[in-house]
Amino acid sequence: MMKKTIFTVVLLAVIQANIQAQNGSISAEDLSQIKKAYSGTTADKAIRNAIANIDINRLALNAENQTGLNGDFSDKVTTKGITDQKSSGRCWLFTGLNVLRAQAIAQHNLPELRLSHNYNFFYDQLEKSNLFLQGIIDTRTKPADDRMVEWLLKNPVGDGGTYTGVADLVAKYGVVPQDVMPETNSSNSTSRLSQMLALKLREFALELRGMPDNTKTADIANRKIEMLGTIYRILVLNLGEPVQKFTWSRKNNEGKIIETREYTPLSFYSEMFGNDLTGNYVMLMNDPSREFYKVYEIDFDRHMYDGHNWLYINLPIDEIKNAAVKSIKANKAMYFSCDVGKFLNREKGTLDVNNFDYESLFGTTFGMNKKQRIMTFASGSSHAMSLIAVDIDANGSTKKWMVENSWGDTGYKGNLIISDEWFNEYMFRLVVEKQFVASNILELLNQKPIRLPAWDPMFAADEN
């Protein structure tokens, strides 16, 4: 009887182990095998002690790669003044206005020009609120678990954005100098304002979706305007009321006033820039997870209901580099976005795949290529900056690049220096004037764009 009992217990244990193996859970035997990966050598203990007390990036800092990138460049765009987006996700807006600023400084021979980001941010938040509310109205008859309805409710408003937002905003509302509408605490630190706006907009969404099916279209539209009035008041209290007219004095390089005039935001934009940011520019993308030489459009990926969806040409990296080099040589800065958090040495202001040696530190490899990182959500565009310089060697090969950042006087004099290899791996978007793009590439714009959904993960807003 005892032997039978023991046999039964052993049999049950074997059966239980088999069940665990089959359902994918970690059995006791599995755990025993897994534990062998850490042997507890003196080297392991030393690394463990170090990681417990020191930041991983400091430990992984590659001592053999500390002199590779310097501030010498063969070609550089003329630009003056470093900006700081503070604790906000407005890098897209800073980058877009920095590109305009560099253009105006060169075109009008200005000593400096600082534009108000707060002014355009105000209208960005108002337009995004309208975009959301109208999206809710357009989908109000769809069920709550509809994918588009869910996406709208998850993303009512935010401070991130893309180049198309800059283009549409300045075309509709113009621009103003920084001192005409200066920053506020809420523009410099946007998280609380974003939370309040999102909360109110979601409340409005429930009201709109709860209206009877037979509610007149005009009544819904009137109620939306009332809702936007509430949003406008919140924005004024946080950001100030946008100026309608202002007086601005133009100075020469010696700082002397040469002209003082009254402007509207649109007349100031027209006189200082006069540039069609939608028609004269094209967005180029390097996304090896999708077919190259195709045009893509992101559904509902815009800042304004009557604005433009994000449309781009997907190209191999060398095609994008060719256009970038031509633009820099012509003294034209570009909107550039990338996965800035990868291999960033903040102290030196460099982006280089050899900045940190994680493999030696952890005793393993991290071998995914760009396509694989995109497919597994390990990498994507997160931050926008202005591409302003390239270093080309005697053989015509690009060695390194430089971007003007919007993190204040950090990194390399407010800029980041990028190795050519990092550019290949973590650069995603470049907006460049069409004159610098090959004609056969521009002809691709005649294609019917491939429409991608708003929730496609590769197309989150630039916001770092």
- Residues with catalytic annotation? 91, 383, 405
CB of 414 closer than 8 Å to CB of 406? no
Smallest CA-to-CA distance from 189 within 82, 83, 85 is with: 85
In this structure, what token pair is assigned to residue 285?
């993308």
Give the CA diameter of the chain: 109
Smallest CA-to-CA distance from 118 within 240, 301, 265, 266 is with: 240
Classified as helix, coil or strand, 299 is: coil
240: region left, alpha or beta (phi > 0 left; psi from -120 to 50 alpha)? left
Residue type, 389: A
Beta bridge partner(s), residue 260: 249
3-state secondary structure 141-202: CCCCCCHHHHHHHHCCCCCCECHHHHHHHHHHHCCCEHHHCCCCHHHHECHHHHHHHHHHHH
CB of 335 closer than 8 Å to CB of 170? no
Compute the radius of gyration of the chain from its Cα atoms: 27
Strand (E) or helix (H) holding 133:
helix 117-138
Phi and psi at residue 314, in whole multiples of 5°?
A: -90, 120
Smallest CA-to-CA distance from 176 within 232, 243, 129, 256 is with: 243
* Cα-based distances in Å from 385 to 85, 98, 195: 11, 9, 26
Beta bridge partner(s), residue 386: 335, 404
CB of 277 closer than 8 Å to CB of 187? no
Strand (E) or helix (H) holding 221:
helix 217-239
Residue 135's contacts (CB-CB under 8 Å, 6 or more residues apart) are 148, 152, 300, 305
Inter-axis angle of helices 217-239 and 191-209, nearest 10: 170
Residue 247's contacts (CB-CB under 8 Å, 6 or more residues apart) are 260, 261, 262, 263
Please tell me the distance from the alpha carbon of residue 50 to that of residue 339, in angstroms, as a whole number: 28
Please tell me the distance from the alpha carbon of residue 461 to that of residue 158, in angstroms, as a whole number: 9
